[in-house]
């Protein structure tokens, strides 16, 4: 009977250790996610500041897209048989 009690006690100790380890990992994950969300928010704020004053609407009211350097992009119609339009910087259009 004593060996069974020791086995049960050992199982509870292992379960307790596993739960504590899970809580530690969960806390680490939460901290990592909070940090990642903070970095994402900073990046979005930088993009918003960068895009301030730029037109949201394009000439055809479909909206404009800009490269990282601030140059406007343009949709190029598909070539023969291609199903996809290309999005390239406007200064590259001949």
- pLDDT band of 32, cuts 50, 70, 90: very high
Q: What is the pLDDT of residue 38?
A: 87
Mean pLDDT of the chain: 75
Q: Are residues 63 and 84 in the same domain?
A: yes
Q: What is the pLDDT of residue 59?
A: 47
Question: What digits encode the pLDDT tens for the residues 36-77?
Answer: 988 888 887 777 666 555 554 444 445 567 777 777 776 666
Number of domains into which the chain is organized:
2
Q: Are residues 67 and 81 in the same domain?
A: yes
Q: Are residues 10 and 32 in the same domain?
A: yes
Percentage of the chain exceeding pLDDT 70: 56
Q: Which two tokens stand for residue 1?
A: 């009977």
Q: Are 64 and 73 in contact (CB under 8 A)?
A: yes
- Rounded CA-CA distance 45/72 in Å is 20
pLDDT at 2 over 50: yes
Q: Are residues 62 and 43 in the same domain?
A: no
pTM higher than 0.85 for the full model? no
Q: What is the pLDDT of residue 28?
A: 94
Identify the domain containing residue 80 by its residue range: 56-94
């Amino acid at each position: 009977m004593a060996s069974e009690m020791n086995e049960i006690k050992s199982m509870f100790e292992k379960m307790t250790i596993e739960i504590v380890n899970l809580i530690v990992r969960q806390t680490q994950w939460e901290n990592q996610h909070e940090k990642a969300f903070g970095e994402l928010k900073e990046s979005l704020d930088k993009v918003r500041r960068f895009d301030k004053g730029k037109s949201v609407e394009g000439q055809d009211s479909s909206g404009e897209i800009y490269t990282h350097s601030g140059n406007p992009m343009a949709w190029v119609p598909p070539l023969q048989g291609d199903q996809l339009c290309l999005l390239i910087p406007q200064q590259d259009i001949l």
